[in-house]
Structure formats: structure tokens, C-alpha cells
Amino acid sequence: MAQSLRIRRVAGALGAEISGVDLAQELPDEIIARIRHALVEHQVVFFRDQELTPAAQVAFGRRFGPLNIHPFVQGMAGQPEVMEIVKEPQDKVNFGGGWHSDMSFLETPAIGSILYAVEVPEFGGDTLFASQAAAYDALSPGLKTTLETLSAVHSASREYSAKGHSAQKRAGMQVAEADGYVGEYVHPVVLTHPETGRKALYVNPAFTLRIDGWKTSESKALLDYLFNHCRYEGFTCRFTWAEGSVAFWDNRSVWHFALNDYPGQRRHMRRVTVDPWPAMAEQAREAELAAAR
């Protein structure tokens, strides 16, 4: 099986397609290690022609870490780790429409997300990915030095409030409204990847509220500059879905954007989100605290 696994790069900044593997099978540790290596090297990896039951998707995800249960989106009955992302034909707003990094609003953010296509529209519905490592690399030495001294405040309060983008009513999903205090957590503006040592920007338009220690008004100019810089097309790749496709991306260095360009059609995806192993979570938190000091 190891000889049959093939990895093909799909864009300059990030992205690779992996073939020759059946993710529904109980894969040997060697194959899991090669997939993990491809993930951290290419930041997002894609698979085609998979047949994943919810249980099989959970089993595959757990090979990379414990699975997250989303605090605001109801999971499947009996499989709470599996989030069904559905846009019905009558829904106007899609889930994930806008550049973001999954779960950065948590104290210990997720390391990766695994999205599986159950039903796709006849046209549209692609997902864009942007390398935040490439975005960091492109900055001037002076701005890199400045940003490495800063941390930023992340929260779900804006995105999941009653007026937020994700909390708008839709027929296909149950998304809670996170009114009131839902927590604010501080993460470095520049994140050093724990597995590669590569640095990446770690702010995003959905969940980053302000620079830590700065007023929101003071933070706006810098964050707006970074948000615009981080989505430059040279840092991106685009994935066109088909039924049975899988995308696995590294939330520590990747933004993504689910395009809402398929009016009147249905799109049904399933996602599991991988958290750090407890030891990794502790090390990551210690690194964040050290960076903030």
C-alpha cells in the first residue's frame, strides 16, 4: 500500500492531491505518517473518490488527534463530532462563507479539519485556501519583527451572535446564537508551527477582534492591512468538489473560504475537526504564553 500512495502538488503556495489510498480502511501507521507529513508540508491535502460513512470519517480523523465537538453547531445524532454542513436550495447564507481559520476562537484551537463531500451542486461551491505561512514569508523584515511581539484577541462573539454571519437562520443546519459572553482568547499574531518550525500569520477576519492591549479602533488599520495581504491570490489554491472528495487542512497555517455561488442548489458536506493531543496542547499553550511575555 505504501508504494501506491501518490502525492501531486496542485499550486505554488499550498495544496497537494493524494491518490492511491482508501480512507475508509484501517490504514497502517506508515500511511498515516505519510499523510500527516504531506499535510504539514503542503498545508492542505485533497483526496478523490472516497466512500466515508460518518463512523469511518471519525475513525480516520482520530488517527491524527482527538476530535472537537463544535460549541455552536449541533453534530449528528450519535456522532456529535461530525458536523453536517448543509445549504438547502432556499438558504441564502452558506456556512463558512468568508475567510477564516476554524476554531481560532477557542483557548486551544484545532489543528486541522477534514471535510467530506456528500452532495455537491451542479456548479459552484468551490473552496479557496490561503497559506498564512506564505503570507508571513512575503512580509518585510521590519514588519515581521514587529508582528512577532504582538498577540491578538480571538472570539466567537461576533460571528455567532444573533446578528452574526454564521448565526443566520438556515433550513439545513442548527447553529446556536452565542449571545452574551462566549470567551476571548489571546494567541500570537505570528504562530510557529509545532511540527515544521515554519512561521505563519495567525489572525483572521471572522474571529480576530483586536490586537491584545490595543483598542479596537487602534487595531483596525493593522488588521485590515493583514487581512487584505493574507488573501493575495498568489498565496491561494482552489478546490473543485465532487461527491466523495475530501479536503484536510492545517488550521495552524491556512485560511479557507467556502464560496456561495450556487443559488437554488443543495450542498451537503460532513466535517470532523482535529484537536491537538493533550501533550501537544500543553506545549502549544506554553509557547503561546512565552510569546506573549
Question: Which residues are tagged catalytic?
Answer: 100, 102, 256, 271
- The dihedral built from the CA positions of residue 111, 79, 100 and 158, taken in this order, carries a sign that is negative
Residue 46 to residue 280: CA distance in whole angstroms: 25
User: Residues near 278 by Cβ (< 8 Å), separated by ≥ 6?
Assistant: 66
Gap between the terminal Cα atoms of the chain: 47
DSSP class per residue in 89-121: TT--S-TT-SSB-TTTTSSS--SEEEEEEEE--
DSSP letter string, 218-284: HHHHHHHHHHHHHT-GGGEEEE---TT-EEEEETTTEEEEE----TT--EEEEEEEEPPPHHHHHHH
Residue 186 three-state SS: strand
Nearest to 259 by CA among 133, 90, 87, 134: 87
Contact 269, 43 (CB under 8 A): no
Q: Pick from 84, 74, 30, 77: which is nearest to 52 by CA?
A: 84
CA trace torsion 189, 36, 60, 101 (10° rounding): 20
Single-letter amino acid code for the residue at 121: P
Residue 33 has φ and ψ, to the nearest 5°, of -65, -40
